[in-house]
């Protein structure tokens, strides 16, 4: 009996299909560490939930630390605010530094704290939770990051990497401070320009670019890389390799069936793999995962996905449900925005608000230009099965009206 190598809902151990993203991040960090003070534009990995963004970020962190860099991890969205969280995590990372180094860091911190109006600045050497961190000026925060880089270099770190997960949940003022700070760092090097600059790697939902540019237009020049669904080959590797590492193989037919079921959705790959492993009896080395295991796993995974679908459907407003019904009626492939507008009998611009809300909720995502797709495989079929007769009738009526209007000649024709 062996524990399952598949990680459902947590950071994955194997990341096939994400080699390009990891190589891109590694190249950026290598360049940053080798360069004199020349901060590069941040990299943001964006994609729906379940696409492995956090796993990519954690693997990038592991590799950066193995290369001798100081990493600072923040999950955005706390009440303290983004800037306070970064400062606190830097201090936590520096707890093993000599007193003199931490004292230098505290001098820079004090400037930030005075700006935000929090008393007792000298006491925050390992943690910081100011009440109003959004008031921190970018000049003071830039000085803090410069000091962090200088002190990290003295401790033989090859660079400093800020990793921000769920960046779309950060407070607006914190994002603005971060963006303006980065601009400030690029234009004004520290006294010792040979010190490597900080690097910023983030991850967020598909609406992250919109959130960031609302905070500071400068962020439109940051690098946004979209994580796509896994290719069939990558999905096959994600299923087969962890088992093979433990001496277990997948029957070829079972593996092909599993790849077809998962449709490249990373979360479903891990979920189905975990259930198949359990149905195979937590196999010992030499065992095989067969077709019957995959069939049983598919039923369990489908049941769990139905719960996920239900939660997403219930989070949508009645107007958004009508939008989703019109979108699902077109099938399972990406849907042109113009088609949804035609079905609903409205102008395309009238879809902007529900579209933005559904993207923010992680239910749909922009596909190629002018198209939308659901973020989870199978959700379109679920919508078609649960949308009320009234919603279905409304969508059908709107579609008929759109076709009728298109066929009716204008007066005088």
Q: Are residues 63 and 130 in the same domain?
A: yes
Q: Is the pLDDT of residue 292 over 90?
A: yes
Q: Are residues 327 and 348 in the same domain?
A: yes
User: How many domains in the chain?
Assistant: 3
Domain with residue 104: its CATH number is 3.40.50.300
Q: Are 267 and 362 in contact (CB under 8 A)?
A: no
Asked whether residue 81 is domain-assigned, the answer is yes
Its sign, for the CA torsion 225, 227, 232, 237, is positive
Q: Is the pLDDT of residue 123 over 60?
A: no
Q: Are residues 271 and 329 in the same domain?
A: no
Q: Is the pLDDT of residue 409 over 90?
A: no
Mean pLDDT (whole number) for 272-291: 96
Strand partners, 201: 43, 163
Structure confidence by residue, pLDDT tens digits, 375-400: 988 999 999 998 865 566 665 565 55
Largest separation between any pair of C-alpha atoms in the chain: 87
Q: Are residues 289 and 220 in the same domain?
A: no
Asked whether residue 37 is domain-assigned, the answer is yes
Structure tokens at 242: 């962890």
Q: Are residues 296 and 352 in the same domain?
A: no
pLDDT band, residue 324 (cuts 50/70/90) = very high
Pick the range with the lowest mean pLDDT from 83-97, 100-114, 128-142, 205-219. 128-142
Query: 185 is in which domain, residue-wise?
Result: 19-226
Residue that the structure tokens 């500071």 belong to: 216
Tell which of 256, 283, 313 closes a domain.
313
Structure confidence by residue, pLDDT tens digits, 153-198: 888 899 999 999 999 999 999 999 999 999 888 777 666 567 888 9
Asked whether residue 7 is domain-assigned, the answer is no
Strands 371-374 and 364-366, how do they pair?
Answer: antiparallel
Asked whether residue 6 is domain-assigned, the answer is no
Domain with residue 247: its CATH number is 1.10.8
Tell which of 250, 285, 313 closes a domain.
313
Structure confidence by residue, pLDDT tens digits, 42-52: 999 999 999 99
Q: Are 74 and 163 in contact (CB under 8 A)?
A: yes
Tell which of 177, 193, 226 closes a domain.
226
Tell me what the pLDDT averaged over the chain comes to: 85
Q: Are residues 271 and 150 in the same domain?
A: no
Q: Are residues 282 and 326 in the same domain?
A: no
Asked whether residue 85 is domain-assigned, the answer is yes
Q: Are residues 176 and 211 in the same domain?
A: yes
Q: What is the pLDDT of residue 113?
A: 47
Q: Are residues 84 and 190 in the same domain?
A: yes
Structure confidence by residue, pLDDT tens digits, 66-76: 999 999 999 99
Structure confidence by residue, pLDDT tens digits, 219-228: 999 999 999 9
Q: Are 254 and 294 in contact (CB under 8 A)?
A: yes
Q: Are 402 and 343 in contact (CB under 8 A)?
A: yes
Q: Are residues 43 and 112 in the same domain?
A: yes
């Amino acid at each position: 009996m062996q524990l399952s190598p598949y990680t459902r809902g947590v950071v994955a151990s194997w990341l096939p299909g994400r080699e390009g993203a990891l190589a891109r991040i590694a190249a950026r960090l290598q360049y940053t560490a080798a360069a004199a003070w020349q901060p590069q534009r941040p990299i943001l990995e964006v994609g729906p939930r379940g696409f492995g963004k956090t796993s990519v970020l954690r693997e990038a962190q592991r590799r950066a630390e193995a290369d001798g860099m100081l990493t600072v991890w923040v999950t955005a969205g706390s009440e303290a605010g983004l800037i306070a969280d970064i400062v606190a995590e830097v201090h936590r990372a520096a707890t093993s530094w000599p007193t003199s180094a931490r004292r230098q860091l505290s001098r820079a911190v004090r400037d930030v704290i005075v700006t935000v109006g929090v008393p007792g600045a000298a006491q925050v050497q390992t943690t910081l939770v100011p009440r109003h961190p959004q008031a921190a000026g970018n000049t003071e925060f830039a000085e803090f990051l410069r000091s962090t880089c200088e002190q990290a270099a003295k401790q033989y770190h090859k660079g400093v990497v800020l990793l921000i997960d769920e960046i779309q949940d950060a407070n607006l003022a914190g994002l603005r401070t971060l963006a303006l700070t980065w601009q400030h760092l690029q234009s004004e090097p520290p006294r010792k320009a040979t010190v490597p600059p900080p690097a910023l790697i983030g991850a967020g939902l598909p609406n992250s670019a919109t959130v960031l540019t609302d905070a500071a237009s400068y962020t439109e020049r940051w690098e946004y890389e979209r994580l796509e669904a896994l290719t069939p080959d990558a999905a096959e590797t994600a299923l087969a390799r962890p088992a093979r590492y433990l001496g277990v193989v997948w029957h070829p037919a079972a593996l092909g069936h599993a790849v077809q079921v998962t449709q490249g959705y990373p979360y479903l790959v891990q979920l189905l793999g975990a259930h198949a492993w359990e149905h195979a009896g937590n196999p010992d080395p030499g065992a095989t995962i067969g077709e019957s295991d995959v069939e049983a796993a598919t039923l369990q995974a489908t049941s769990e996905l139905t719960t996920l679908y239900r939660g997403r459907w219930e989070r949508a407003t009645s107007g958004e449900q009508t939008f989703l019904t019109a979108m699902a009626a077109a099938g399972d492939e990406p849907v042109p925005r113009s088609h949804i507008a035609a079905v609903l009998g409205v102008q395309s611009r009238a879809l902007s608000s529900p579209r933005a809300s559904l993207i923010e909720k992680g239910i749909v995502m922009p596909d190629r230009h002018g198209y939308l797709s659901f973020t989870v495989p199978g959700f379109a079929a679920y919508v078609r099965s649960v949308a009320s007769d009234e919603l279905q009738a409304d969508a059908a009526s709107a579609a008929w009206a759109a076709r009728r209007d298109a066929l009716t000649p204008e007066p005088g024709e």
